[in-house]
Structure 1
Amino acid sequence: MNFLGVIGYLIQSSGLEELLSEASILLPGTAKKAMVGKPFYRCVRAHLIVLEALSGLHWNSFESYCISSCTGSSVFDDIAGIIASATDGRLIQVELSTHLNSLTSPIAEFDNSINTYPTSKLWLQYIRMVLIMLQCLLADRCGNWDLHLKAIRMMPPFMASTGHNKYAIYLTMYLQDMERVPEQLREQLLQGHITVERSVGSDNAVSPDHALESSLNLEAKQKGGIKGLTLNGTAVAK
């Protein structure tokens, strides 16, 4: 996914590469490759670990902010009470969702208050980019067409800011084309016919491009495939 390279480009020289290496999340060579988005699965795993750590720090700071400003402190008390008295897993999920939704505005206010600091602004932007990447992956795994388009719509500005101008242009054109698809095709897309499932199960699909790169293209690039074929005069003559 090219967007992983965009994340790495914007976060380079932040110390993330050294952090991934020193924390033994990735080997030094792999950590360097992760800044350009490769290898795919290791890169995604590394960003997930960093996102979890940053989200925890962000939440702790937000909680302190709410307590000091008396904003949303009652919501924290309600959440703690729900967890303490929980007996039904599904019931607690519904109740927590209601209370957590009420924190949307306070969190936005908190983010705006710290967005004036360069370091905070950098890591908030990193969190946002990783969440966009995860939305795109989730859409592929589940075949969720609307979520796929939502994630793609948020990518062009980041593509353009990192010099991936062609990606920014063609993603915009892609979105425009998808708005004009025939109704019959749109119904198929909404049913999840946008991904490829290579094994039995649920929520394990991948994008067609990913499936192609990890199957036919991968085999063609190995020994005996098309790699170096044009350098063989006899093969070209055939």
Structure 2
Amino acid sequence: MGVRTIARDQEPISQDIVGYLPTINSPATELNTVFEILKQSELIRKELHLETIVVVMDQALYAKAAERTWKHREWFPNILLRMGTFHTICNALAIIGKRFRDAGLKDICIEAGVVAEGSINGVLDGKHYNRAVRVHRYISEALMRLAWEEFTPWVEKNAPERSGMIKSFLEDVKDMTSDLNQEKMTNLLQSPLSAELITLWTYFLEHLRHNNGELSGFWMSYIDMVEDVVLCLLRASREGDWELHLHAIRTMIPWCFAYDKMYYARYLSPYFAQMTNLQEKYPSVYEAFKAGQFSVQLSNNNTFGRIPVDQAIEVTVNKDTQTPGGTLYIF
């Protein structure tokens, strides 16, 4: 069982039900298909007596639906469009691969044996989702372990009076790991020692980003992209943390501009603006999202097991029909 699940053992679980809607026998790329999705969504909203209905789409469909709703705002005022988090993560993985592929990341993955040479391009392009997430998690953790080895010497040099505090905190962590649970984890993270250590660690990371040479800053940007975008989007979905989701989206937008992901750059910007104003325009949706209802809980025993809506479609409808990409969905 993962540490995240153990550390959230007191969280309540409410398993979601995935309902299968009739498929639309028409190419997804056609505007008429998108318009039909919006019409059917509005009919479902009325049938269920909902104030607002949320429709989740990947970027290609979202772009067409957004253009239609922006042009004719009076047609579907009660439909809220969301860009699928799963496909957004895939795009973030592709950006990371594009930035670091030829800087040594490709060679590291192959020589370390975490990816076969024949699969590395698919991983770095963000097409092999599970393998890509696993690889970047491994590489990010390896870099953080190297940074941690230098952290104590840095503290002894720059703040020697606090080195004893670090040793005391690490002893507490070591004692706790044999019997980890959510209460103990919360108490440890809220302790004064934890706050002081996090402050020192933050200063040290800033030192690595800006005062330790260009190479150090470059690879710190890798850690930042993996942790602040990919892993934050994953954690936000799994924990149902809406504010963390918005933080990751905001962090990702500049990288989309920098690496010519123009479709995501164009549509993530208004998406972020709309999502940050939900409390004013769609208060009921905002309360639902704050409660974690922007991702799907398929398991009845995993407290860290929520997944993005568009990924839920991949592992349910598309898996059952065995036609990946061939089932057009409304959710």
What secondary structure sits across from 2:306 in the alignment? coil
More off after superposition, 156-165 vs 11-20: 11-20
Of residues 178, 182, 195, the one that matches 2:275 is 178
Of residues 244, 249, 256, the one that matches 1:159 is 256
Q: Distance in 2 between matches of 1:122 and 1:49?
A: 18
2:206 counterpart residue number:
108
Q: Deviations over 1:174-217 (max 9, x none)?
A: 11111232212211110111001222222211111111233323
1:99 counterpart residue number:
196
2:75 counterpart residue number:
none
1:80 counterpart residue number:
167
Q: State the identity as a percent.
A: 28
More off after superposition, 135-144 vs 58-67: 58-67
1:131-170 aligned at under 5 Å gives the runs: 131-132=227-228, 133-170=230-267
Shift of 1:95: 4.6
What secondary structure sits across from 2:126 in the alignment? coil
What secondary structure sits across from 1:196 in the alignment? strand
Unpaired runs of 5+ residues, structure 2, are: 1-89, 177-183
Shift of 1:221: 5.6
Contact 1:62 1:110 in 2 (8 A): no
What secondary structure sits across from 1:13 in the alignment? helix
Please, what TM-score do these two structures have when normalized by structure 2? 0.61
Please, what TM-score do these two structures have when normalized by structure 1? 0.83
Unpaired runs of 5+ residues, structure 1, are: 228-238
Q: Distance in 1 between matches of 2:92 and 2:172?
A: 42
1:122-133 aligned at under 5 Å gives the runs: 122-132=218-228, 133=230
1:200 counterpart residue number:
300
The one-letter code matched in structure 1 to 2:220 is L
Shift of 1:85: 6.6
What secondary structure sits across from 1:29 in the alignment? coil
Q: Distance in 1 between matches of 2:132 and 2:164?
A: 37
Q: Distance in 1 between matches of 2:300 and 2:239?
A: 13
Shift of 1:21: 1.7
RMSD in angstroms over aligned alpha carbons?
2.4
Q: Do the aligned partners of residues 71 and 159 (structure 1) sit closer, same or farther apart at CA in structure 2, a change above 3 Å counting?
A: same
Higher RCO (C-alpha under 8 Å, 6+ residues apart): 2
Matched, 1:215 2:316: yes
Higher helix share: 1
Contact 2:155 2:162 in 1 (8 A): no
Contact 1:145 1:190 in 2 (8 A): yes
Q: Deviations over 1:1-22 (max 9, x none)?
A: 2111111111111221222122
1:4 counterpart residue number:
93
Q: Do the aligned partners of residues 85 and 149 (structure 1) sit closer, same or farther apart at CA in structure 2, a change above 3 Å counting?
A: closer
Number of equivalenced pairs: 222
The one-letter code matched in structure 2 to 1:139 is A
